[in-house]
Chains A and B, each alone.
Chain A
Amino acid sequence: MDKVLNKILNDYQKNKGNLIYLLQKIQDTYGYIPEDIVFWFSNRLNIPASKFYGIITFYPKFRLKPTGKNTITVCCGAACHIKGSDRILQEVRSILSLREGEDTTQNLSFTVQKATCIGACNIAPVVILNDQVYGDMDTEKVSKLIKGYEKKDEYTGFEY
């Protein structure tokens, strides 16, 4: 493990001490930012952990918890919003039995995310399941999409 971390440390120094860059590398490696790793770097670099957390919590892309195997992103831009993205998000959360404040299922199979606008407003509302874009969504279609994900041949989404 130390070898991986030392390499990240090295890259960080080459990148003018850019903490965002460092955190991105950690996230790329682990899929999220584990607490012990933050402390490892905090000690090495003599930078208070709070400074790391200040950045982690500022940018929505950083995650302090592991993500699920599949990611489902509901676009909530204005165009999707007026075509019902709220209801779709609600439906997704209820199918996956996510509680308030949770975005990943207990068994780590799904993580739900909100996107601002992915630029496919012509087929709003839009849902992205693991890099596949599905347009003209409604609650029924999204529920079929998630439930039938094992038999995913039936649903042809498109590359994002």
Chain B
Amino acid sequence: MNTQALNINSSMNNCYIEIKVCMGTSGRASGGNDVLRAFKQYIQESGIEALIGRRCRYKKVGCRGFCSKDVLVDVIINGNKVTYQSVKPIMVERIVQEHIVNGTPVNEWLTKEDYESFHTKQHKIVLGPCGEIDPENIDDYLNMNGYKAARKAITQMSQDDVIKKVIMSGLRGRGGSGFLTGKKWEICKAQKETPKYIICNVGEVNRPLAEGNPHAIIEGLLIGGYAIGAQKGYIYIRERYHLSVERLRNAISQARDKGFIGKNIFDSDFNFDIEFSFGTEAFICGEETALMESIEGKRAMPRFRPPFPAQKGLWGKPTVINNAETLSNIPIIIGKGAKWFASIGTEESKGTKVFTLSGKVKNIGLVEIPMGMSLRDIVYGIGGGIAGNKALKAVQVGGPSGGLIPLSMIDMGLDYESLAKVGSIVGSGGMVVFDEDDCIVSVTKFFIEFLQRESCGKCTPCRIGTKRMLELLTKITDGRGEDSDLITLERLSSLMTSSSLCGLGRTAPNPFITSLSHFRDEYIAHIRDKKCPAGVCTALITFTIMEELCKGCTLCKKVCPAGAITGELKKPHKIDQNICIKCGACFKACKFKAIKKG
């Protein structure tokens, strides 16, 4: 026997060990698979397999949100859990030896207070099981009362009871529309036409849900299908989200094996099946009516409404489209009750909302907050503030067509009404933090460029509007802007908002409208002073060497790819502005802060 094995504390002999490795998209991107493999391999090879291997369970769990410290690993011994952060395969040996074998956790690698504060300030309902349960194992879901809500709805409640309960909970669409989910179901149920369909829209922000707790989505879809009287549900998802597709597919087949999907579900006369429909890589495919066109195999162009999808949807039949997060809330509402759910959040916006927090914030990740929580609590509390101790400039909430919220409004609460008031949207929950180094005009241009590219072109206000907006913003960032451009942009914005066919065109001007109203100074600096205050817009910055600070180390000269810098060793250098390509390499390289950007 290996000597290491003999070292094992005898008390370890009959304990239960669990190793949970974060394996969402981000966990995997940071090397989760390698870490898990390393654990299995080390435990096998070091000869301790016989003693602890048998009692060791490995779990691939979904994303627990704190992605900046991935790979996260929980080691649970007899119910005592500690979490390691930024785990790399080479760290595995020490963790196994010192912690699992000898019983003392490797303190320096454990998560710190930021992990605590990141989690304690959140309110996890739909994300709760993500990171705890094994998404590939239906028993884990059943152990947390999985499919009980569906059983209760289908066997004990009428369709109207279910709908009433969902209306009472106050749940509103998490995919951006904010429409009362129960109302949508009610309209669809009232239609005489059959068959009916229910579609689950799995967007970018929903991936961690699909990866971490896919059964909740399926259970929600099942309950929704029952409520409106559909026999067929679709999961609309981008093919490229491999892991989400794999986990949902696996979950569907497990649910089918257990008889939760198929014929005579729970011995009732309700039949329901679920099929995938692979969305294509286009933003417009998220729009309800465009989405249905794409399922039908056509160009994803939005339809006029009314008729609404609930009246005339997929193949002309009554159809409900719900976002995956919306549906994940359903089993909880049926299980814990509408009152319980409605006690979370604000008067008009109930429950929680998942946001992806990214950009210049310290703790990047996925967060779930009660509706109405302040932006400050999210960015500074959960997010831990701005990385590199820079100053916060703005937060973009609601994805590309959301609004830019300035630092001065940081105390606003996040809910449908408050966001609408400041010209933003909840969207599907994107949140990007910008700091003092970001140029608002350039950021706005980035979003408009995206929307222009993604405009389907069916209606003129959106097709031409986004194009013109982009041209004008480009003109401004190129230093050719005129005062009148802002007026044109404002007119275009109001025209697009009022006359575009679908949500894309109607919300596309949001980034501009909000940035102009909060950062007019920055626009003016670009237009009148031909300056980019953040030093981002290439055409508007110049690099100069401050003679008194230059030590003549020649470093800048060496890194300059254009050969624009001249000077002798130990003598101040110079930049020839006509040759300079403004790449900023010299600025980065200079150790004496002798290069001025402005």
Contacts from A to B (Cβ < 8 Å): 15-22, 24, 54-55, 58-61, 78-79, 81-82, 116-124, 126, 133, 135, 158-160
Tell me, rounded to whole Å, the shortest Cβ–Cβ distance linking A160 to chain B: 6
Q: Is the CB of B281 within 8 A of A59?
A: yes
Bound together, the chains give a CA A120 to CA B204 distance in angstroms of 11
Q: Is the CB of B359 within 8 A of A119?
A: no
Bound together, the chains give a CA A93 to CA B68 distance in angstroms of 29
Chain A CB within 8 A of B141 CB: no
Within 8 A of A (CB), among B10-29: 25-26, 28-29
A19 and chain B: residue at smallest CB distance: B297
Interface-facing stretch out of B162-170, B188-196, B214-222, B430-438:
B430-438
Chain A CB within 8 A of B474 CB: no
Q: Is the CB of A78 within 8 A of B447?
A: yes
Q: Is the CB of A121 within 8 A of B358?
A: yes
A55-B298, A55-B299, A116-B283 are known contacts. Are A158 and B359 too (CB-CB below 8 A)? Answer: no
> Hey, which chain B residues are within 8 Å of A61, CB to CB?
280-281
In the complex, given contacts A21-B297, A60-B281, what are 11 additional A-B residue pairs having Cβ atoms less than 8 angstroms apart? A17-B297, A20-B294, A20-B298, A22-B297, A79-B432, A116-B450, A119-B207, A133-B29, A158-B30, A158-B32, A159-B28
Within 8 A of A (CB), among B59-82: 67-68, 70
Tell me, rounded to whole Å, the shortest Cβ–Cβ distance linking B598 to chain A: 20
> Hey, which chain A residues are within 8 Å of B68, CB to CB?
122
Tell me, rounded to whole Å, the shortest Cβ–Cβ distance linking B390 to chain A: 12
A119 and chain B: residue at smallest CB distance: B25
Tier of interface size on chain B: 35 or more
Tell me, rounded to whole Å, the shortest Cβ–Cβ distance linking A132 to chain B: 9
B585 and chain A: residue at smallest CB distance: A139
Chain A CB within 8 A of B31 CB: yes
Tell me, rounded to whole Å, the shortest Cβ–Cβ distance linking B435 to chain A: 9
Q: Is the CB of B204 within 8 A of A20?
A: no
Q: Is the CB of A18 within 8 A of B67?
A: no
> Hey, which chain A residues are within 8 Å of B546, CB to CB?
none
Bound together, the chains give a CA A129 to CA B360 distance in angstroms of 25
Q: Is the CB of A119 within 8 A of B280?
A: no
Q: Is the CB of A122 within 8 A of B365?
A: yes
B399 and chain A: residue at smallest CB distance: A78
Chain A CB within 8 A of B329 CB: no
Q: Is the CB of A122 within 8 A of B297?
A: no
> Hey, which chain A residues are within 8 Å of B311, CB to CB?
none
- For B205-249 the 0/1 string (1 means CB < 8 A from A) is 001100000000000000000000000000000000010000000
> Hey, which chain B residues are within 8 Å of A135, CB to CB?
29-30
A116-B283, A160-B29 are known contacts. Are A121 and B446 too (CB-CB below 8 A)? Answer: no
> Hey, which chain B residues are within 8 Å of A58, CB to CB?
282, 299-300, 456
> Hey, which chain B residues are within 8 Å of A59, CB to CB?
280-282, 299-300
- For B477-496 the 0/1 string (1 means CB < 8 A from A) is 00000000000000000000
Which of A122, A124, A158 makes the CB contact (< 8 A) with B28? A158
Bound together, the chains give a CA A160 to CA B242 distance in angstroms of 8
Q: Is the CB of A82 within 8 A of B298?
A: no
A78-B359, A119-B207, A121-B356 are known contacts. Are A159 and B432 too (CB-CB below 8 A)? Answer: no
> Hey, which chain A residues are within 8 Å of B547, CB to CB?
none
A87 and chain B: residue at smallest CB distance: B583
Chain A CB within 8 A of B443 CB: yes
Q: Is the CB of A78 within 8 A of B26?
A: no
Chain A CB within 8 A of B34 CB: yes
